[in-house]
Amino acid sequence: MNAKKPKGLTYKDAGVDIHAGDAVADRIGQLARSTYGPEVMGGVGGFAGLFSMGGEVKLLHAHYKDPVLVACTDGVGTKLKVAFMLNKHDTVGIDLVAMSVNDLVVQGAQPLFFLDYIGMGKKDPAVCEALVQGVVEGCHQSRCALLGGETASLPDMYAPGEYDLAGFCVGVAERDKVIDGSKVAPGDVVIGLRSSGLHSNGYSLARKALIERAGFKLGQRIPELGRTLGEELLEPTKIYAEAVRNVIGQYRVKEIVKALANITGSGMPGNIPRTIPNGLVVRVKKGSWPVPPVFQLIQKAGDVAEAEMYDTFNMGVGMTLVCPEFNANAIRDALRKSGCESDLIGTVEAGADPNAEAVVKVE
């Protein structure tokens, strides 16, 4: 008798329920709004929070007429489990910076400073130094200052050799140059900025598929990847600050650079609509960009449904930019000059219901 084939893995099987996370965000948003004054712009749910400074100020040798502080926070997630297993800690600090900075720049903000938090069972000077070396490298790539941080010893919280990281970034933008997606319209196109791989999302599912189900070892060289699995899984998240800075320095925001989205957990379907007005449909064309082989490896190893893959991972697109079709090639050239390859991956159309929430259809 043939053994029953295991069912295809989902992110929920790996312990992460995206819909439950959305419900938590809704509840937290209701609580947070009770603290808002007139300086707060928007609310919980954007890629970063915005706070008006209410007057002219000079920052970074630039004069801001009506500056807005832009702030965000994030962690690295279960990618840290791979660092623990390999005892390699000098790259996850880059991920920590990237996860906050990439959220910040999609609002059109210039990063100012970063702070980190390291919690571990017992302070290990060598590990702490390696972690901060990664944070410093991420700050150099982002052109922001590492202003400070905190390291806590919590022996009852963490197993020996394990730790957790949190990062906090603050930036600034001119109020009328905050990118909010309000000008996105039918006929616009979507540019996909290529990712460096998994970045820092979906690792619970990736580890379950590749290590638990397929039995791969982190030190094992995988022909499809051209390197070991551990090297692939610890590839740092790409930081897009320089590329975005150069583009918005050349093209008007809102009218040309209309919307940016950081493609993290919940993939393109969950992140692009956060910056697209109601009533619109974004059609993303499969095959219009190169999908890194690690994603096919995960899908095959875990028998993961294609829709689940796109709802969990970035699938090779780390950030998206919406602009008029006329400007797309020039913007892609500007991105390339900043060391960021990109592809024309989709279009914006009018939906059937002008009041319905924007959606992404990957076809």
pLDDT digits (tens, 9 = 90+) for 200-259: 999 999 999 999 999 999 999 999 999 999 999 999 999 999 999 999 999 999 999 999
Lowest-pLDDT range of 12-21, 52-61, 177-186, 280-289: 12-21
Query: Are 153 and 224 within one domain?
Result: no
pLDDT at 137 exceeding the cut of 90 = yes
The Cα 206–Cα 78 span in angstroms is 10
- Domain containing 297: what range? 189-362
Mapped onto helix, strand or coil, the DSSP state of residue 222 is strand
CATH number, position 295: 3.90.650.10
> What's the Cα-to-Cα distance from 269 to each of 19, 26, 32, 309, 317, rounded to whole Å?
13, 18, 26, 11, 12
4 within some domain: no
Query: Are 80 and 151 within one domain?
Result: yes
Q: Strand locations in the chain, DSSP E?
A: 40-41, 49-52, 57-59, 62-64, 67-75, 110-120, 145-153, 163-174, 189-194, 221-222, 227-228, 259-262, 280-284, 317-323, 342-350, 359-362
pLDDT reported for residue 19: 57
The Cα 339–Cα 134 span in angstroms is 20
- Give residue for tokens 């900075």: 101
- In this structure, are residues 233 and 218 in contact, taking their beta carbons and an 8 Å threshold? yes
First CA to last CA distance, the chain: 38
The Cα 99–Cα 3 span in angstroms is 42
Q: Which helix (H) or strand (E) holds 25?
A: helix 18-32
CATH number, position 98: 3.30.1330.10
Residue 3 neighbours by CB under 8 Å, 6+ apart: none
Q: What is the pTM of this model?
A: 0.86
338 within some domain: yes
Query: Are 169 and 199 within one domain?
Result: no
Query: Are 110 and 53 within one domain?
Result: yes
Query: Are 125 and 237 within one domain?
Result: no
The Cα 63–Cα 292 span in angstroms is 42
pLDDT reported for residue 345: 98
pLDDT reported for residue 149: 82
6 within some domain: no
146 within some domain: yes
